[in-house]
Amino acid sequence: MRCQVGVETLRIPGGNVRTWITRPTRLTLWQTAYTLDWLMEVTSSQIPENRRSAPRRVSSPGWDEILGPVRDYLDLVSLRMEAEVAQFEPEIAEHARYALQGQGKQLRPALVALAAGAVGRTSEDHVTIGMVVEMVHLATLVHDDVMDGASVRRSRPTVGARWGNHLAVLLGDCLFAQAMKVAAALPADDIFRSLAVAASAVCTGEILQSNRRRRWNLRRSDYLKMLEMKTAELFAVATELGARHAGGTREQQQALRDYGLAIGTAYQIYDDCLDLFGTENAAGKSLGTDLATGKVTLPLILLLEHASPSDHAEIIGWLERWDPAYSIGLRALLQQHGCLQESAATIEGLLVRARAALSTLPCTPERDALERFPRLIMRQTALLAS
């Protein structure tokens, strides 16, 4: 069943297990594996340790399975980033290394290499592209933490929390400028142009999000367009450039760009849901910052669409003078109106689109890894719902 992309939809479980398993639906092998994995995780947590069966055979792929084919490449990207940081003034390099140590999964450079491997082979240019994309992303994280007032990222104090927001803003600027400097020195002009366009889109999306704080009547279409710009565009340029510089055809480049846009948008919606429904211990970062700073995310848009006039007025009152004490009431209304499940359905639609974009690509280990990524996002979303 590998390398066969289905377009059937999978409903993220909401409510109890009985509701899920009695709903008549036709599942593909991929969907069945996901469903069994979710059911086993939910039910095994309710069975005493000494009565549980042998380890599960069906398991949802983790990050290691997705990133495994490009692990050596990611090590090269890390070395390049360290080399670039070493060019800063020593006092600045100390702060930059701290930011680098807070890197996560290096997802965006991984997408560069996976896209390249899906249509050809990686080269030294791909290492540079991955390094630049990751450094731009890191700069946006440093700035985001300042704008959100976040004090924790990757289970450590943010740059702003440790050295102050003034230094954090300047450090983000340094990282961004260094990334563009490296891109401009590449012999292939299209790399710099594409990365500059992507960086401009990211900044535009961030400004739009800032301008739209507390705009409680924000439309879904405007929200999704904003996510495409501020988050998905870096995913898209990573996959597109990865394919282009591995010799991919125009059709393959466009397919992988479409994949990046869909997967990046879905990933950001999941992250927005995590801010409302997750836990800081599991996430390893400050949560609840969207509410505190007036960011309008999909679950809130859905809640305000579905709420009664009296509830709508009360919700707006809470959001305008937000206090963490309102969290219990807000979560109850979000659950009552099925806002997480409806957000999950939007994520699902984007992930189906992402997998469908891979349908014309040859079967390779890298393409298999790209297909696993949507499955992992669906699993994480389902865990929020359960």
pLDDT in tens, 274-319: 989 987 666 565 677 889 889 999 999 999 999 999 999 999 999 9
The predicted structure's pLDDT at residue 151? 87
Residue 216 contacts residue 92 (beta carbons within 8 Å): no
Residue 14 contacts residue 344 (beta carbons within 8 Å): yes
Residue 182 contacts residue 128 (beta carbons within 8 Å): yes
Predicted confidence band at 153 (pLDDT cuts at 50, 70, 90)? confident
The residue that leads in pLDDT, 66 or 265, is 265
Kindly write down the DSSP assignment for every residue of 100-133, as one continuous string.
Answer: HHT----HHHHHHHHHHHHHS---HHHHHHHHHH
Structure token pair of residue 361: 């690509």
For residues 324-359, one letter each, b for 16 or more C-beta atoms within 10 angstroms of the residue's C-beta and e for the rest, the string is eebeeebeebbeebbbbbbbbbbbbebbbbbbbbbe
- Cα–Cα distance for residue pair 370/110, rounded to 1 Å: 10
The predicted structure's pLDDT at residue 170? 95
- Residue 285 CA neighbour count, 13 Å, CB half: 23
- Cα–Cα distance for residue pair 306/198, rounded to 1 Å: 35
* Global pTM value: 0.82
For residues 208-220, one letter each, b for 16 or more C-beta atoms within 10 angstroms of the residue's C-beta and e for the rest, the string is ebeebeeeeebee
Contacting residues for 366 by C-beta, under 8 A, at least 6 apart: 69, 70, 113, 114, 115, 116, 117, 118
Domains and CATH numbers, the chain: 63-378 (1.10.600.10)
Percent helix, strand, coil in the chain, to 5, is 75, 0, 25
- Cα–Cα distance for residue pair 298/69, rounded to 1 Å: 34
pLDDT digits (tens, 9 = 90+) for 2-45: 454 444 333 333 443 323 323 333 333 334 434 444 333 333 33
The residue that leads in pLDDT, 126 or 149, is 126
- Cα–Cα distance for residue pair 176/385, rounded to 1 Å: 36
- Cα–Cα distance for residue pair 232/259, rounded to 1 Å: 10
Average pLDDT rounded to a whole number, residues 353-368? 96
Contacting residues for 71 by C-beta, under 8 A, at least 6 apart: none
pLDDT digits (tens, 9 = 90+) for 93-133: 999 999 988 677 899 999 999 999 999 999 999 999 999 99
